[in-house]
Chains A and B, each alone.
Chain A
C-alpha cells in the first residue's frame, strides 16, 4: 500500500481542513493532494530515478515526498549542511534525480550528472499548475518510498531504504485515522532529511493534525510560532530543548500554554535538562522516542506519565527511568544479545535487536536483517527488570582494551559528576600494549580551574576500575556535534590521535 493513500484518505475525509502551515501560507488536504499529483507529472516526465530535496523543510518537501510516492520513485532528502565533496558523492549515487532546492549548488558541484533541478518556489508552482494526465498510473506502493543517507557518525553514509510497507505498518499500527481535534497542531522543526521529520509529517496527515513547519530551527522563532499557531505538539532534539529553555531564561516572551506534548529523541538527553524541562513545563507531557532511520522512526518510548513518575520519585529505581528510552512499542519485538548472538537476561548489556513490520533494516547495497528478520541496531543497551530500555552508546563505540569491552558512557557519566567538567567524550585510542586504550576529550566548565589529570584518573579508578582509567586526557574548547546534536566520535578520535 502506497503512503500517498494516507494523504488521499485525509483529503477524502476532510478536504478543506488545514493540513499544513509554512511561512504564513496555509494548505488544505485537497490542495496538498492536488500538488502532489502535479508533482507526479513532473517526476514521471523527468525520467528521474530518485526525487531529492536539497533544501530546508517547506510545503515543497511535503509535495515532493508524496509526488515521489505516487510516481514510485524513492524520495531522498539530503543534508544540505554536508561539505561540497560529500554532497557531490551522494548526488552521484542517486543520479539522475529530480532535485528540489539549491539549483546553483547542484550546477556548481555536479553539472554533468543529468539531474533535473527546480528551485523551491518553481517546483511548488509547477506542481500546482501541472495538469493531471488522464488515467495517471499511480504506483501501488510495493517498492521503496524513502531513501535516507545515514548521518555517518561512525563511517561513510549508508543509503537506508524504507519501503511503503514499513512506513504504512508504522502509521497504521500507531496512529488512529482522523483522531486529531480541530485545534491540534504539530510544530515540526527537525530537518527534512531526518526520519523523525518524515514520520511527523505522515503521522500528522493521517491523524489530520495540522502541521506547522519551521524551516530552520531557532529558539526565538520556535517559541513565537508555538504562540502564533497555538501548537499543541512538538518534536525536538535535546539540543533544541536546551536552546529553547535558554531563550526563556533570557526573557524571550511567548505564550506557550497550548503545548500539551513535547516529544524528543535523536540524541542523548542530559538528565539535568529533562528535570529542568519537567519543572518549567508542569502541564506538558514529555515523551522520549527511541528509533533509527532503519526502523521507520520510533521503536521504544517513555511516555508522559512515566516521565512525571520518575521526576517525582524517591525510589532510585523509578527515578533512574528518566534516563531510559522506555518500553518497546507493542508492535515491536526487542532483544538484547551478546557477542555470540545469545539473548541476554535483564540487566546485562549487549546489542539491541529489533523485529517488526516497520523495521526495514535494509540498505541499497544489502539487507542487514538476519534469517529470522531481526535487525541488529548496532546500538548497545540493556533492559531493566521491568522491561525499560537503557541505551549505552553505539556498539561500534565500545572500547576494547586487552579483550575487555568498555562502554564510553560509563566513563563519561563518572567524569560528568566532576564539577569542573561541562562535557566529555571517551573514545578508543591506539595502544601498543592493549590494542585499544581509553582516551578522553573534556570541556572545562566556565570559571573553573582545569583539574589535574591524576585527579580525574583517580576519580575513575575509585568509581569504576583500573582498566577504565584513561591513558590520555585532553581539554578542548568544545566537542564536535552534528546539527542534530549527535556527538561525532570519529572526530573526537582524530583530535585525540594528534
Chain B
C-alpha cells in the first residue's frame, strides 16, 4: 500500500506539472525571454573580452561560466542566453558543458523539469501529510496546496523575490541555504500555526515563520540592472500567481486521487 500512496502523489504531481507548463508558457516564459534581451546588453562583460554575440565559441565559454556559477557578475555571465537561440540549439551535443539534456528543445526541457518538480512537490506534500497524520482529501486539498505555496513560494519570496535572468543577486550558495532554511522553517511554522490547538504552539509557529526574515535574506551589494523594473514587478506577480495555481491544482488533485483510489 506504500507504493500505491506514493504513486497517487506522483500522478497528482504529473497532472499539476502539465498544468504548470501551460500556465508558464502563457504568462511567465514570455517575460523571461523579454528579460534575456536586456540581459544581453549588459556592460559588465569586462571579464569576457572575447564575447562576440553570434559566434559559437565565446558563447560556449560564457555558457560554461554561467552554468558553473562562478561568475563575478550575474549580468555579464549570462550572455549565452541573449538571443532567441536557446542553449539547446547553441550547444547541441556538448552536454558536458551544459545545454539542455538530450538536445531537447527549450520547451521540452521546461516541461520535463515541471513534471519532475511537480512530482517532487507532490511527494513532499504527501510525505508531510503522512508523517503528521492529516490526510489530504478533496475537501481540504486546496488548503493543503495553499499552505504548500505559502511555505515554498510566498514566504521565501519576501526575502528573495522571484528573479528574472539578469537581475542582480547575492552569492548563489548563500541564497540557496537561506531559501532552504526559510522553506523548512515556514513549513514547520505553518504546521504549528494551523494544525496545533495550543496557543503556545501558534506563537512558536509565528516566531519560526518570522525568524528568517528578521535574520534577513542575502542581498546583492550592487542592485543596478539593465532589465526594466516593470518587467521584474510583472514577473514577480506572475510567478507567484502561477505557482499558487499550481499548488491549488496539486492539492485538489492529490485529495481527489486519495479519496477515489488510494484509500479504496
A binds B: no
